[in-house]
């Protein structure tokens, strides 16, 4: 077999890169669990009709077929009725409905899993990718404060990750809707006009203000003044209580607008303590997220220098994740695109691990007959949590040291002829007496560390 070629859109990591990804996933899990979110994994497949309910993703779904399905007509899964999930929200909605009787509400779950989309691959967009979602789901009701909470949780994640500077952008569908109603949009009582205007304004990045203004007038039927007012709102940014003053300065008033402003201020206050030079949270009212199901706070996140990736962490409040006739399940959640954020950093070597193996120690082998006693040393180190390999062969010590060097294993352990032991830090060359039941490596060497910049 000749050397296989990589498949475009299906990224894979070398061991040293995978250690970076593991670190990120570990931080996500730790923060989610510290906040009392329980892990859930769903199956990779959903019935096709569920996947296509939203109507916009049909081109992207991978459908499954058993290779020899035609020979086995008794199999109900052969008709192409299952597809791979393309996000973790559709599976969550199904999971909540299927297991509602066994779940406690508000249901706090996180889910870190792969998803698949048959899209044309490009940087930041993959056919197979890992998402990390955190959601709070209520039954029939869900308090607003959870909209602050999920932002806090993701803020804590970002505060711990060695990413380039990250900016979380928050906005509020209630604020925007209140503002639109305040300028007379949706005066006929239906929500359709509001949604149509939001979708038009959501195209601002793509089309620019002049085209959006024309859209608003020509397609949505707004007056030029209304269109101007809509665009004025998109210019508002604030990172604290100045938000209220800036919105008030636009001269529009509506009870829903006041509520929305108040709520968005609470999101900003709730994340204030977590901000730093590397992590900011800003209300940007141009963010509306075109998706119809959001009904409250919405979140997007951009990484400095990687704005071309789009948002790496998005979500919002939705009043109806699912409904089973008896109950409706409102929720709020944020999803971090793990692959979207990491793949470009890994490809550029901007996030690296200190070594390519978990091993902290290599126990050298004086001769093949010593393997059993060397295994005992390794076992003692492992029992105290120190990841340890034994040398694969009783080669010359120089060759055994190079084995460790190539992998970045920082310490080589040498059993001595007199029954004693020495351990060498192969970076400094310093070699000291040690005992396998007592020696501990420096804390920074116990596990591989992850840092920004080249290895």
- Interface residues for a copy of itself in 71-90 (CB under 8 A)? 71-72, 75, 77, 80, 82-84
99 versus 214: smaller Cβ distance to a copy of itself = 99
Per CB under 8 A, 39 contacts a copy of itself: yes
Q: Which of residues 210-269 bind a copy of itself (CB under 8 A)?
A: none
116 versus 180: smaller Cβ distance to a copy of itself = 116
Per CB under 8 A, 1 contacts a copy of itself: yes
250 versus 395: smaller Cβ distance to a copy of itself = 395
Q: Assess contact for 450 and 353: CB atoms under 8 A.
A: yes
91 versus 124: smaller Cβ distance to a copy of itself = 91
Neighbouring residues of 73: CB distance < 8 A, sequence distance ≥ 6: none
Strand partners, 82: 47
Task: List the x/- string, 261-300, binding to a copy of itself by CB under 8 A.
Answer: ---------x------------------------------
Strands 388-390 and 361-363, sheet pairing:
parallel
257 versus 353: smaller Cβ distance to a copy of itself = 353
Give 119's DSSP letter. Answer: P
| Residues 455, 449: Cα–Cα separation, whole Å | 11
Here the tokens at position 394 are 């009783």
159 versus 217: smaller Cβ distance to a copy of itself = 159
Per CB under 8 A, 342 contacts a copy of itself: no
Q: Which of residues 434-453 bind a copy of itself (CB under 8 A)?
A: none
| Residues 316, 309: Cα–Cα separation, whole Å | 19
Per CB under 8 A, 118 contacts a copy of itself: yes
Per CB under 8 A, 123 contacts a copy of itself: no
Per-position b or e across 119-139, b if 16+ CB within 10 A of its CB: eebeebbbbbbbbbbbbbbbb
67 versus 438: smaller Cβ distance to a copy of itself = 67
143 versus 416: smaller Cβ distance to a copy of itself = 143
User: Integer distance in angstroms from the first to the last C-alpha of the chain?
Assistant: 33
Q: Which stretch binds a copy of itself (CB under 8 A): 34-42, 204-212, 255-263, 276-284?
A: 34-42
The H or E element spanning position 372 is helix 371-383
Q: Which of residues 43-62 bind a copy of itself (CB under 8 A)?
A: 43-45, 47-48, 50, 58-62
Task: List the x/- string, 303-332, binding to a copy of itself by CB under 8 A.
Answer: -------------------xxxx-------
Task: List the x/- string, 127-156, binding to a copy of itself by CB under 8 A.
Answer: xx--------------x-xx----------
Q: Assess contact for 323 and 141: CB atoms under 8 A.
A: no
Strand partners, 334: 134, 315
Distance in Å, CB of 361 to a copy of itself, minimum: 9
| Residues 444, 442: Cα–Cα separation, whole Å | 5
| Residues 271, 161: Cα–Cα separation, whole Å | 16
6 versus 398: smaller Cβ distance to a copy of itself = 6
234 versus 400: smaller Cβ distance to a copy of itself = 400
Among 114, 203, 246, 275, binds a copy of itself (CB under 8 A): 114
Which residue is it, tokens 């919002």?
Answer: 316
Distance in Å, CB of 119 to a copy of itself, minimum: 9
Strands 328-337 and 313-323, sheet pairing:
antiparallel
Among 55, 70, 73, 104, binds a copy of itself (CB under 8 A): 104
Distance in Å, CB of 270 to a copy of itself, minimum: 8
Q: Which stretch binds a copy of itself (CB under 8 A): 93-101, 182-190, 281-289, 343-351?
A: 93-101
Neighbouring residues of 51: CB distance < 8 A, sequence distance ≥ 6: 57, 61, 83, 85, 86, 90
Which residue is it, tokens 């730790």?
Answer: 30
CA-to-CA dists, residue 4 to 1, 7, 12, 18, 34, angstroms: 8, 9, 13, 20, 42
Q: Assess contact for 215 and 197: CB atoms under 8 A.
A: no
Among 56, 99, 249, 255, binds a copy of itself (CB under 8 A): 99
Angle at 53 between CA 47 and CA 59, to 5 degrees: 80
Neighbouring residues of 55: CB distance < 8 A, sequence distance ≥ 6: none
Distance in Å, CB of 215 to a copy of itself, minimum: 28
Task: List the x/- string, 362-401, binding to a copy of itself by CB under 8 A.
Answer: x--------x---x------x--xxxxx--xx--------
Distance in Å, CB of 153 to a copy of itself, minimum: 10
């Amino acid at each position: 077999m000749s050397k296989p070629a990589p498949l475009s859109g299906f990224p894979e990591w070398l061991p040293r890169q995978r250690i970076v990804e593991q670190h990120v996933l570990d931080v996500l899990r730790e923060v989610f669990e510290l906040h009392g979110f329980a892990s859930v994994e769903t199956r990779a497949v959903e019935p096709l009709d569920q996947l296509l309910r939203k109507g916009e993703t049909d081109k992207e779904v991978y459908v499954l077929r058993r290779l020899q399905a035609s020979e086995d007509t008794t199999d109900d899964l052969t008709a192409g009725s299952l597809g791979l999930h393309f996000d973790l929200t559709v599976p969550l909605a199904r999971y909540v409905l299927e297991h509602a009787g066994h779940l406690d509400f508000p249901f706090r779950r996180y889910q870190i899993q792969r998803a698949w989309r048959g899209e044309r691959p490009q940087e930041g967009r993959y056919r197979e990718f890992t998402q990390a979602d955190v959601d709070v789901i209520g039954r029939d009701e869900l308090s607003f404060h959870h909209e602050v909470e999920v932002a806090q949780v993701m803020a804590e994640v970002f505060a711990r990750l060695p990413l380039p500077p990250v900016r979380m952008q928050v906005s509020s569908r209630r604020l925007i809707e209140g503002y639109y109603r305040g300028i007379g949009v949706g005066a006929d009582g239906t929500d359709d006009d509001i949604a149509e205007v939001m979708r038009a304004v959501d195209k601002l990045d793509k089309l620019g203000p002049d085209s959006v203004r024309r859209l608003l007038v020509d397609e949505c039927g707004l007056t030029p003044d209304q269109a101007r007012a809509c665009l004025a709102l998109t210019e508002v940014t604030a990172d604290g209580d100045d938000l209220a003053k800036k919105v008030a300065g636009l001269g529009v008033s509506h009870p829903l607008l006041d509520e929305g402003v108040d709520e968005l201020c609470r999101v900003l206050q709730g994340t204030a303590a977590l901000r730093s030079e590397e992590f900011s949270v800003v209300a940007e009212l141009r963010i509306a997220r075109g998706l119809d199901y959001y009904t409250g706070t919405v979140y997007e996140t951009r990484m400095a220098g990687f704005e071309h990736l789009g948002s790496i962490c998005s979500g919002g409040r939705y009043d109806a994740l699912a409904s089973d006739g008896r109950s409706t399940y409102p929720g709020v959640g944020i999803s971090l695109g793990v692959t979207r954020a990491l793949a470009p950093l890994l490809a550029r070597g901007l996030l690296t691990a200190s070594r390519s193996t978990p091993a902290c120690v290599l126990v050298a082998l004086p001769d093949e007959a010593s393997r059993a006693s060397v295994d005992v040393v390794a076992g003692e180190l492992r029992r105290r949590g120190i990841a340890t390999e034994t040398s694969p062969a009783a080669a010359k010590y120089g060759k055994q040291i190079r084995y460790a060097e190539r992998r970045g294993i920082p310490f080589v352990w040498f059993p001595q002829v007199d029954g004693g032991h020495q351990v060498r830090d192969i970076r400094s060359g310093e070699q000291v007496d040690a005992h396998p039941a007592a020696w501990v490596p420096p804390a920074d060497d116990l596990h591989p560390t992850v840092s920004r910049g080249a290895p």
